Amino acid sequence: MRQKLMRVLFMCGALYMIPCILTMLIRKNIPETDGKTFDSGILVYISQGSEMEAMDLEEYLVGVVSAQIPADYPLEACKAQAVIARTHVMNIMGSRTSAAASELVQAYDSRENILEKYGTKASGYYETLVQAVTATSEEVLTFDGALAEPVYFYGGTGKTRNAADVWGSEIPYLSAVESPEDGEAQENQTQVTMDVEECIQRLKAGDSDFEASAQTFKDTVQILEKDESGYVLSIQLGNKTFSGEQLRSLLDLPSAAFEVRAKRKTITFDVTGCGHGVGLSQQGALIMAEEGRNYEEILTWYFPGAGIE
């Protein structure tokens, strides 16, 4: 069970690393593009020690997509992720033609990072990433003629969530859609168990008004409300009511879709999915691509009413 949880946490953002010696041996397998493959006219400045490296936006996106989605996913799923990443960047940059990578608030894999993550398979995976970016060159997701703000997560409950249930504001293209592949994925099911004392300490650290006794804590635990997609909206613990997303953050749960079992000394969360559940499901995109759907179909499914320009 612990191994399963670790796998899911990895997919939520942890990077798999292999020894640096392997990087040195196979570094030559990834081509140095040096901007020759890309010419968007937009530059991203990346910090390299004490210096700044200027990189074309499209080349930069290769590293961003690598950091956001496993490169062994089908090409069409990677293309969908590339459009999401590019749209995020353009939302921040606006009409500017250059920006520092630190402004763009996105994870980024250098060629060295890609080598360390994928080892001897790095060359093939890198080529997939380049294809994903070049095939969607300059394409962004839009809604009503303006840039959308696409979000994504790793996997969910079988149905995505409404943005209003997570962030309090209705966004038409971030409304709940069916994503049955998520609910069928075995790796989406994880179990998190902790001592009651640890749980109380974490909740107190996150909310100074929280109070609870370890002796009676289990009697106060109750899920009060869930949304239509199965995510907890509110839960009672001790003297406080928390939102599912608050509790997810305070206790480092993979998602807010959970059932809870409290005992005298331990509390267990049976969790489904990984991430906030809004927008594109990467697991769903994986299955759709494997079934022959293209990236446009994937994006317009998970972002209803949005278009690609």
Q: Give the pLDDT mean for 6-21.
A: 45
Give me the chain's average pLDDT, please: 89
Would you state the structure tokens that stand for residue 95, as one six-digit string?
């009409």
Confidence of residue 71 (pLDDT cuts 50, 70, 90): confident
Would you state the structure tokens that stand for residue 251, as one six-digit string?
């206790």
Q: Could you tell me which residues come within 8 angstroms of residue 183 by beta carbon, excluding any fewer than 6 positions away?
A: 156, 157, 158, 159, 272
pLDDT tens digits along 27-58: 344 444 444 457 888 999 998 777 888 999 99
CB of 56 within 8 A of CB of 35? Answer: yes
From the number of C-beta atoms within 10 Å of its C-beta (0-12, 13-18, 19+), residue 153 rates as buried
Specify the pLDDT at position 51.
Answer: 82
Q: Give the pLDDT mean for 196-200.
A: 98
Specify the pLDDT at position 181.
Answer: 75
Closest alpha carbon to 244 in 191, 235, 236:
235
Give the number of residues written for the chain. 309
Q: Give the pLDDT mean for 117-129.
A: 92
Whole-angstrom distance, CA of residue 167 vs CA of residue 233: 11
User: DSSP class of residue 218?
Assistant: G
Angle at 26 between CA 24 and CA 30, to 5 degrees: 115
Cα–Cα distances in Å, from 257 out to 64, 66, 157? Answer: 28, 27, 7
The share of the chain scoring above pLDDT 70, in percent, equals 87
pLDDT tens digits along 230-279: 999 999 999 999 999 999 999 999 999 999 999 999 999 999 999 999 99
Specify the pLDDT at position 35.
Answer: 44
Largest CA distance in the chain: 66
In this structure, the number of other CB atoms found within 10 A of the CB of residue 126 comes to 23
CA 53, 91, 111, 68 torsion: positive or negative?
positive
Q: Give the pLDDT mean for 197-218.
A: 96
What pTM, to 2 d.p., does this model score?
0.86
